[in-house]
Structure 1
Amino acid sequence: MGNEQPSPKGVRTIQAVTHLSEILRCVSRATKPIGINEIARSVGLDKSSVSRLVASLEKERLLQRGHEGGVRLGLGLLAITAPLMRDLGLSTRVRPSLEALAKRTGETVNLSVWSGKESVSVVQALGSNAITHYAAPGRTNPLHCSASGKVLLAFASEELIEEVLSSPLQRYTDQTITDPQTLRGELKQIKLEGYAVNTGEFAADVSAVSAAVFDLDGSVVGALTVTVPAYRFDGERQAEILRETLLVARDLSEQFGFHT
């Protein structure tokens, strides 16, 4: 029994995992978005096989298309590695900016990325009045009713937006938007303004402001969010936090190479 050979199906499954890993490593070594032909030459597979594997990785947000037409690593990788980033202290690049914002606002500040299905917190800083359980690193938030989720969804492809809007939008509170057309209109406004506000849509006692963070080619790399208990989120406070959040989001975007 101990000498049994794996089935051909098992062998193919293992080979597929190996090929996926090789493609991810190949893309990670590239200094700019890399084409299918170049990936195929590098990993020693035919173009059609690489195209299918890349399409699977794109669907899971582990790869994404660059504006030049090639592929690069996707934000889904950040979502998967969020706990590791926390444990190994790999968030040093953005943490000073988040801590400064948390100090000025006194609230909970998070940087979130899109896993392909949800908004995932990858870095957090706490202010003097912060509620510590808000979106700890690795925690997910729904796209349609959280400030970070709405920002990330607003800047997604039309195909992905339609996929979300065509699925049932779960109601969490009386303020949750569950009508696809209403949400579509809000997403257009968010994309135009670069920020989203959540007033009790995911949890009745929680409000938040979130702003888009861009990279060198204008793609959204994350959402910078300040979360506030609803009881201290009046109009004046909302305007103050929005102003501070937009300033830091612009600074982070410049750190990632984005220039208007």
Structure 2
Amino acid sequence: MVALAGQVLNNSTLVRRARPYVALAHERTGVVAELVMPSYQSVVCVLRCDAEGEVAGPAVQEVVPVHCCAGGKVLLAWRDRWCDSVLSAPLERRTDRTITDPLALRRELEMVRADGYAADAGEAVADGCSVAAPIVESGETVAALQASGIEVDDHVARLVIRTARELSDDLTVGSA
């Protein structure tokens, strides 16, 4: 299965096109940048640009419960049927800050849609935080660009949104 997943990722137009944008997000923000995609009750990090500026992937880099990371919240906010499915099951508590109440999470997802990005502060990992923005292809949110570090702020969020929009525009031009 892992080898098959690797082949799918290697042949994915989205992943190929996203690679330089993940590097650009890291360059702009100075923190780890990732491309995350939906997978059942989780998100899968398929590209990661680390502190050295090297993009790792495409490969499954990490799997995180969707409800407790910024990239997951972005995907939940714009993928209604998937969100309903995820929120119909119990939500795992990863830290004391993890939102496990479906109604509270739905309220947060409304704010994500209004703001155009999501954030988490210690929800997946106690001392970590992240911000993420949607990657849109053909009108559908297909992935999220996420920046993770010890501290991320509004400035980092704006840079991530800008880079995610640039990637989305590139995907739109490339599919036309």
> TM exceeds 0.5?
yes
Structure 1 moving runs of 4+ over 6 Å? 85-90
> Which deviations, in whole Å up to 9, do the C-alpha atoms of 1:66-90 show, x marking residues without a partner?
xxxxxxxxxxxxxx72x34677897
Q: Structure 1 89/179 Cα, relative in aligned 2: closer, same or farther at 3 Å?
A: closer
Confirm or deny: 8 A CA contact 1:215 1:256 kept in the other structure. Answer: yes
Q: CA deviation at 1:96?
A: 1.3
Larger proportion of strand: 2
Confirm or deny: 8 A CA contact 1:165 1:180 kept in the other structure. Answer: yes
Question: Secondary structure at 2:134's aligned position in 1?
Answer: strand
Higher alpha-carbon Rg: 1
Of 113, 137, 143, 2:66 maps to 143
Residue 94 of structure 1 corresponds to: 18
Residue 131 of structure 2 corresponds to: 209
Residue 161 of structure 2 corresponds to: 246
How do 1:148-163 residues align onto structure 2 when only pairs under 5 Å count?
148-157=71-80, 159-163=81-85
Residue 186 of structure 1 corresponds to: 108
What is the aligned residue count? 167
Q: Structure 1 219/149 Cα, relative in aligned 2: closer, same or farther at 3 Å?
A: same
Cα distance in 2 between the residues matched to 1:103 and 1:245: 11
Residue 49 of structure 2 corresponds to: 125
Confirm or deny: 8 A CA contact 2:17 2:171 kept in the other structure. Answer: no
Residue 169 of structure 1 corresponds to: 91
- Please report the TM-score for the alignment, with normalisation by the length of structure 2: 0.83
1:228 aligns with 2:152: no
Of 99, 103, 117, 1:195 maps to 117
User: Given residue 72 of structure 2, which amino acid in structure 1 is its aligned partner?
Assistant: G
Identity over the aligned pairs, expressed in percent? 34
Cα distance in 1 between the residues matched to 2:79 and 2:148: 23
Question: Secondary structure at 2:66's aligned position in 1?
Answer: coil
User: Given residue 178 of structure 1, which amino acid in structure 2 is its aligned partner?
Assistant: T
89-98 vs 246-255, which moves further: 89-98
Q: Structure 1 127/89 Cα, relative in aligned 2: closer, same or farther at 3 Å?
A: farther
Confirm or deny: 8 A CA contact 1:107 1:129 kept in the other structure. Answer: no
Residue 140 of structure 2 corresponds to: 219
Give ranges in structure 1 of 5+ residues lacking alignment: 1-79
